[in-house]
Amino acid sequence: MLDHIYVLTYIMVMISAETVFKLLSDTTRLRALVLMKNHGELCVCELTHALNISQPKISRHLAHLRDANLVTDRRQGLWIYYQINPELPEWITSILKVSINELNQNQPYSDDDSVLIDMPNRPGASCCA
C-alpha cells in the first residue's frame, strides 16, 4: 500500500505547469473546477445540470482532469463523483485558490453556482434520477 501512495505522490509532483495551464484554459474544465472548489465532491449529474452540457461532454473533460491527477473520482453504484485532488502540489493549489476566488465574482461562474444550488433532486442519500 505504501508503494502505491509513494508512486501516486511522485506522479502528482511531475505535473508540468504547461499541462496545468492547458487544462485550465478550457472554459468547461475551469467551470467544473470552480464548482468543485466551491461545493466539494460533485456527481456528474450535478455538473451537467449546472453547466447545461451533455453528460458525454462533461465526462470527457473530467477524464482529462482525472488523467492529469487534478481531480479524483469515486464510484457509488451507477454514479461517479469528482473532487479536486486533495494531494495536489502547493503551487497548483495556490493557483486554483487565487483564480477561483476571482472567478466567483464573474459570470458564468457565479451563475453556475446559483444553478447548482437551485438544482431540484440534488444527490444526497439517494443519487440522481
pLDDT at 121: 82
In tens, the pLDDT along 64-77 reads 999 999 999 999 88
Cα 123 from Cα 129, distance rounded (Å): 9
Convert the pLDDT of each residue in 77-86 to its tens digit.
Answer: 888 999 999 9
CATH of 2-117, one of 3.40.50.1110, 1.10.150.20, 1.10.10.10, 3.40.190.10: 1.10.10.10
Sheet holding 42-43, edge to edge: 42-43, 79-84, 71-76
Average pLDDT over residues 11-20: 76
Q: Mean pLDDT, the chain, as a whole number?
A: 87
Residue 11 has pLDDT above 80, yes or no: no
